[in-house]
Amino acid sequence: MDKITKTIIRYEWRSFVRNKFQLLLLAIIFIFGMYAIYYGASVVNVQKKTISDVQKIEEDEFYQYQISFDEELNSVDAKRKRDIASNPSYAWFRHGYHAVLPPHNYAALAIGQRDLHPYYHRLTGMSLYYQLFENEIANPVKLYVGNFDLSFVIIYLFPLLVIAFAFGLYSIEKESGVLAFLRIQSISIRKIVVTRLLFYFMLITGLALLISLIGLLVLSNIFSNENFLAAVAWLAGVILYSAFWFSLMFLIISFFKSSAFNAICAAGCWLLFLLVIPAVLNVWMISKYPIDTTHLAELTRRTGLENENDEKEQTEVLSEFLEHNPKYKASDSLFNNNRYAKVYAAFTALKDSHSKKDVDAYNSQIGKRNKWVNQFLWINPAVNMQDAFTLISKTDLNTFLNYQSALTKFHKDITSFYYDRLFWDKSITQEDYSKRPVFKMKESNERWSMVLFSFLKIALILVLIGLVGFMKMKNS
Amino acid sequence: MKTYILIAKKEIKIALREKLVLALSSIILVLLGISLFTGVISYQQQQKAITKAQDEKRKEWLEQGDKHPHIAAHFGTFIFKPKTVLSLFDFGLDTYTGTSVYLEAHYQHQFMFRPAQDHNSMIRFGELSSALVLQILMPLLIIFLAYASFTKEKERGTLRLLNSQGVTLTSIAWGKVMAYFIILLTILTPFILGILLLSYWLKTPDTITDLGMRIGLLGTTYMAYIFLFVVLSVLVSLKSSVSRNALLTLLTCWILFTIIIPKTMANFGESLYPLPSMKIYKEGILKDKENGLDGKTPKAVRMAKLEKELLKKYKVDSVQQLPFNFEGVSMQAGEEYGDKVYDVHWGRLLNIFNKQNKLGSYVSLFNPYMALRNISMGLSATDLSASVDFQKKVENYRRIFIKKMNNDMAQNSNYGEFYEYSVGLDMWKSVEDFKYKTPSIYSTLKKYVLEFVSLFSWIILLILLLNYITRKTKLNNG
């Protein structure tokens, strides 16, 4: 660092410290950051509490089933309890398993779609889709205005801070007459502007990193295996995003216009990236790929056989079921013992496999929407960054789609656990309880490559913009 | 008066020369056009899908064949939330409220499928509706139009020149306000008229009441909002020493009003009045149905009591001797008790929602954007109260239809003969199709008194302030 740069920085620091308004702004943003962390944590804590309630309910339920094996069968009640625990014809639709999507340790920093999608389900062997679509309670007004989480502070508010600090870096000197003095110095105007911008970049990015670090540290141990990469990615994202806004300001300043022009221009960009482009894309997408959920509604209807006592209909259902599940063909008891329970189970399974087409069509339409909209992320670092933040904290749509397919798989495990016993006329034993299905969800292996790709897009744009600004300033 | 007009004329001329103002106005016009176009398209798409689905469900209900009325009550039907024609102007909460519900005996199912669930996180940046353009972008245009209205004159010294010719500061200020307001009205008025025409042309299913009055009031409220921002911007410009400061002050206000305060308040409301999780909420209903609302009258006790009462009333000693099927009557009694329990729990939930949102209403006294946002949603019937009203009417429909099934079972079937009894088409037809109409405009207006008070007092206060300050200010150092 040469002497002049040092001098500039020293004076910049002095004028910064003297400017009460600027200090106040930083303090306000810091407080907003703290509130955002607190708020995000409180939302996630409520969800954690719900999850533990739900898991407790499941534990209690299965504990009751298991102890019923040790109880004497000397009352109607005890017999009934044992029946529910051991007889698959009751158990398959009574036993409730909970699948949960626990929040990532850093979900509080970017709540994303977590307040919108259900994150726990109680599944029985009953029709999957009858159980899949229930929503969590939420105030629609709240969903509409969104969450005041750290991702909001960084994506919406920090750019404003950047604009407030940088819009007058050149023009105010000009307007207050200092510029003439600067021009007679041996140092180029470009160098002065770049140095001062870098100074504020350090300052503001430093603040953003500080707030983020507080959040990361308060929420969890950043050095644990699952957190470390997420924490690093978060911090890298913060730096990148801040750099993007500074390079944009550099470009705006390079036009050497009045400070009012700079402010309007910068505010216009902010508006474009954070409001206009996403809002237009959203409505465009809705009319381009409309999604009609009305026929999904039908899937949630609980239906049974037309006539429960019609033997012909029963046989039809069972035969169709066997076509889909040939492994039960060898069961000679299928059409004989306990026929009604088996028919009902077969009917439910068939209904699900018929419904699958509709659900798949719905999911593929969502997939198309995503694909279409992702092409436009190139031009919008703000939405891109939000996307990356939700990916990092696993609150993005993909996580929920993954969760849904894991649910489907889990439901399959549950039904085959009970059907294997129901259709082979076996009762559920106490030992079977240790073998009962467990919910598992595979980690998406695309997550980090997607985050990296988002970062690359932002980096590319920021370099491009910065270069244009640099060239412009050189030529003038 | 003449000076006002003169000044206004000059201001309009100058504004039309400003490239920035022209560019922004065209952007706003284009965005209004896009928003209206996509609004109409998605309104029509959704309305078509909903009408089709609703007709299908009606057909399914009618063609379900002969069966026991209670089985039919479980077969049930579906209701889809119709769009109001004004939702093409203001989407309101439609993206975040459920769109369909399954109606059957014993259970109050929740509304499913919030449209926002079909989106990735970009949906949280908002959707472009005409209301959004007018509520959020229009003030920005106003700010850019008027921030320099006085500071520029001060910077150039023309203000003193005008003053020396005997023009008062008050008339200069009002001349400017009038000029900007006229410019904005020329953008707004044709648009409002367009909405009026479009909604009358498109409103096929007549779900929304008092349409003309709603649009009239919407237009007036938006004009008031725009006027308010014009006066505010001129006032800030008058009080600022340089254009830069005026601009920064106004932009800060804008961001506080439209972005920061609404979000903080909604989040605050949620922290203050926490909501139960669905699981706990439903468990509570189930438990109260099982053990009674007082926790001391379980279902069996309630049924035994009903049986005893009926036996006594009809002076018989077994349920078989009653002149109707006791199973039908007890089924209906159970249903009604369930409804009572549900009303208690749902009432509690709505109460929490109301408390959370009331906070926003109070804050709207300090924030004209929130006042307008709430009024606009209310008038377009896309607000929470419209959604709750719809849910209530649907639930009521469910009750009537279940009652019909249970009564038929009580009147026409015999005790213990469940599989022997069935009814058919005539019975299904006797359940009328569900038709929805939004609440009247008066009941909507009543809910937004605070918001109207807010806009009204803002305007009065700003007018008084502008008059006061322009009289007080001396120009010797400006």
- Whether B27 maps to a domain, the answer reads yes
> How is residue A97 annotated by DSSP?
E
Check B34 against A172: CB less than 8 A apart.
no
CA B297 to centroid of chain Cα atoms: 40
Mean pLDDT of A461-471: 90
The DSSP bridge partners found for residue A100 are: A120
Q: Which two tokens stand for residue A244?
A: 């993007």
Q: What is the ipTM of this complex?
A: 0.88
Q: B298-319: buried (b, 16+ CB within 10 Å) or exposed (e) per residue?
A: eeeeeeeebbeebbeeeeeeeb
Do A141 and B356 touch, CB atoms closer than 8 A?
yes
- The whole-number average pLDDT for the span B230-248 is 87
Residue corresponding to tokens 């709540």:
A111
User: Helix, strand, or coil here: B109?
Assistant: coil
pLDDT tier, A332 (very low <50, low <70, confident <90, very high otherwise): low
In a domain, B200, yes or no: yes
Q: What is the pLDDT of residue B205?
A: 62
Side-chain-side CA neighbours of residue B296 (13 Å): 1
β-strands A97-100, B100-103: how paired?
Answer: unpaired
B457 in any annotated domain? yes
Q: Smallest CA–CA separation between A149 and chain B, in Å?
A: 10
Work out the average pLDDT over B63-79. 86
Domain count, chain B: 1
The DSSP element (H or E) to which A384 belongs, if any, is helix A381-392
Rounded to whole angstroms, how far apart are CA atoms A402 and A399? 5
Cα dihedral B371, B373, B379, B385 sign: negative
For A369-422, write each residue's pLDDT tens digit.
888 888 888 888 999 999 999 999 999 888 888 898 899 899 988 888 888 888
Average pLDDT of chain B, as a whole number: 87
CB crowding A316-340: b at 16 or more within 10 Å, else e: ebbebbbeebeebeebeebeeeeee
Token pair 């790709």 is found at A453
Confidence of residue B345 (pLDDT cuts 50, 70, 90): very high
Rounded Cα distance between B1 and A472, Å, is 50
Least confident of A207-211, A352-356, B342-346, B452-456: A352-356
Cβ contact, residue pair A369, B119, below 8 Å: yes
Name which of B83, B87, B124 to mutate to probe chain A: the one with the most chain A Cβ atoms within 10 A of its Cβ.
B124
Cβ-defined contact of A263 to B65 (cutoff 8 Å): no
From the list A42, A160, A373, which residue is nearest B255 (CB)?
Answer: A160
First CA to last CA distance, chain A = 25
Residues of chain B with Cβ-Cβ distance to A148 below 8 Å are 263-264, 267
Least confident of A116-120, A191-195, B136-140, B462-466: A191-195
> If 0-12 CB within 10 Å is exposed, 13-18 middle and 19+ buried, where does residue B417 land?
exposed
Q: Is residue B175 part of a domain?
A: yes
Tell me the pLDDT band of A244, cut-offs 50, 70 and 90. very high
- B180 is written with which tokens? 């900007």
In DSSP notation, B86-99 reads: GGGT--TTGGGS--
Flag whether B57 is in a domain: yes
Q: Which of B18, B122, B285, B351 to mutate to test the interface with A (most CBs of A within 10 A)?
A: B122
Which one is predicted more confidently, A181 or B22?
B22
Mutate to test the interface with A, among B125, B155, B253, B447 (most CBs of A within 10 A): B125
Which residue segment(s) compose the domain that B84 sits in? 2-273+368-403+436-477
Q: What does the pLDDT average to over B432-460?
A: 91
- Give the pLDDT confidence score for residue B477 in this predicted structure: 45
Query: Which band of pLDDT confidence, cut at 50, 70 and 90, is reported for residue A201?
Result: very high
- Mean of pLDDT values over B189-215: 81
**Rounded to an integer, what distance in angstroms lies between the CA atom of residue A2 and that of residue B227?**
55
* Runs of H (alpha helix) within B165-240: 169-202, 211-239
Instruction: Say if residues A246 and A162 touch (Cβ distance below 8 Å).
Output: yes
Residue B476, pLDDT above cutoff 60: no
CA-to-CA distance for B77 and A308, rounded, in angstroms?
A: 21
How do residues B260-276 score in pLDDT, each as one tens digit?
Answer: 899 888 888 888 898 88
Query: Does residue A326 surpass a pLDDT of 80?
Result: no
How far apart CA A452 and CA A392 sit, in angstroms, is: 10
Q: Which of B384, B473, B363, B337 minimizes the C-alpha distance to B95?
A: B384
Band of pLDDT at residue B327, cut at 50, 70 and 90: confident
Q: Is residue B337 part of a domain?
A: no
Q: How confident is the model at residue B202 (pLDDT cuts 50, 70, 90)?
A: confident
- Domain membership of residue B265 (yes or no) is yes
Residue A271 CB coordination number (10 Å): 16
Name the band, by pLDDT with cuts 50, 70 and 90, for residue B478: very low
The shortest CB-CB distance from A373 to any of B78, B120, B357 is to: B120
| Average pLDDT rounded to a whole number, residues B163-169 | 79
* Inside any domain, residue B303: no
Over residues B202-216, mean pLDDT: 80
| One-letter identity of residue B407 | N
Residues B28 and B35: their CA atoms lie apart, in Å, by 10
